[in-house]
Amino acid sequence: MRSFVVGVLAWALMAWAGCSSSGSSTACEQRGVGECLAASACAVVLASERPADYSCVDAGRCGEDFDQVDGTVDSCEARDGCSYVPGECFCAPGLTCICGGGPPPRCVETGLVDAEVP
């Protein structure tokens, strides 16, 4: 019974502080690449023209729950109004790749495909 009470108190404290056990309350901008890829509401983007200069941003409606490592054109474009933007030589942390440092694939709203995608 004591462990149940302790668990409930810990959950209540985290909820009061704006936290969750999954860490989902952390703003995308504060996440590293690995954490960003694991967060369903965030997306990794190339922040500048420099290779591997990545940042984490809000994934938007189409990018939410899109897997930037294993996602496919079909998994993106099955969503109404969404288009797949292919990556170029992106290598996720922990993987061994032939190349790396390029932009990761994204799933974005169709009107943003030709526009500057953040």
What are 4-26's pLDDT values in tens digits? 333 333 333 333 333 333 445 58
Non-local (6+) Cβ contacts of 10 within 8 A are none
Higher pLDDT, 45 or 116: 45
| Poorest-pLDDT segment among 21-25, 50-54, 78-82 | 21-25
Residue range 24-43: average pLDDT?
92
Burial 4-15 (b: 16+ CB within 10 A, else e): eeeeeeeeeeee
Question: Given this model, what pLDDT does residue 82 score?
Answer: 97
C-alpha span between 46 and 53 (Å, rounded): 6
Contact (CB, 8 A) for 53 and 102? no
Q: Which amino acid is at 43?
A: A
C-alpha span between 20 and 2 (Å, rounded): 22
Question: Given this model, what pLDDT does residue 15 score?
Answer: 34
Q: Where do the structural domains in the chain lie, given as residue ranges?
A: 21-112
